[in-house]
A and B are shown apart, each in its own frame.
Chain A
Amino acid sequence: MMETILLALFFIVFTFAAYFLMNLLYIRFHYSFLMPALTATLIIVLFLLMTDTAYDTYMIGGQWIDSLLGPAVVALAIPLYKQRKLLLDNLVPVISGILVGVVIGMSTGLALAKLFGFSRILLLSLLPKSITTPVAMEITEQLGGIPSLAAVFVMIAGFSGIIIGPAFMKMLHIETPIGVGIGFGASAHGIGTAKALEYGAQEASVSSVAMSLSAVFGSFLAPVFVWIFYL
């Protein structure tokens, strides 16, 4: 009993420390690949591998931090509510772009992965890759995929979006604040929104609206795509 409490405390403090230290590093140098979601995760994974600690043991503490995900998703409604004017003023282009993004993101992801012959469980984990991590993990879990893998695919989508995205959108002449904001938010969620901030406040607001609404539309459409693709 005592040992369990100590283990829980240790891993909670360890996760917090890794996050805050890596966050300081990110704020100081501001390179995308230093984002704490990536670096802190790597530090913890390396620690567990080197000390030969099981993931279940880590989760004795980790589950407490994990339990904040649900309320945090609910809290996303507050920034969306604050941007309701922007949303209402551009309702048609914003909603259409996000819907197209969710449909293209889910259908091309599934079609390509199926083409390469990947298993059903991998397809289900890959399906919500354009959706913000906490929601993507829940979608995958409900459909029978692996939430941890979903989180990794979401991260790969985010990083490819911000690394290739700027030159790619320039090439396609996507340059209005709405175009750029939706492009980043609908494909690269929170990581894309952080990048959109470098373009301007309006781009970032549009991107954060795209991130939140992609999560809502994606939750509705994911089971539909599973059905369409006979998974």
Chain B
Amino acid sequence: MAVELSAREIGDRVGAIVDACASLEGPLLPILHGVQAEFGFVPQTALRLIADRLNLSRAEVHGVMTFYHDFREEPAGRHVLKLCRAEACQSMGGDEIAERAKAQLGVDWHGTTPNGAVTLEPVFCLGLCSCAPAAMVDGRVVGRLNDDRIDAVIEQVRA
């Protein structure tokens, strides 16, 4: 999977994303979302290109990118498992589910399994507070987690 992208290829693809967002008011977040959707993370070289195009300093773009939890500096695993850590999920045993997931995957928060299959992320509320504890697997929601259900989720993604 580790295909090195040439600076030129990144440049072309980032350029197209910036072009598509050119007419927006406040285009930086849509651009960063676009870049992350394209590459799975925001490559360092993209920051300079975006900065040049938006007439910002590279530091400003870096500052924005690193402010938000969503944007990654490195690719995630093939699957991203987000577990809700917020209060409603806590009240239904979310902490125990999280400990179980960490133990099974052998990673802590933000960690990726050595085989590159899963990245475990905390999330603070998926709005599934009345069917807690909740998780999100590659953008798909899962609720009413218990030991069996979290095991099944992990089984699906860990290979």
Chain B binds chain A? no
| Interface of B toward A, CB cutoff 8 Å | none
| Interface of A toward B, CB cutoff 8 Å | none
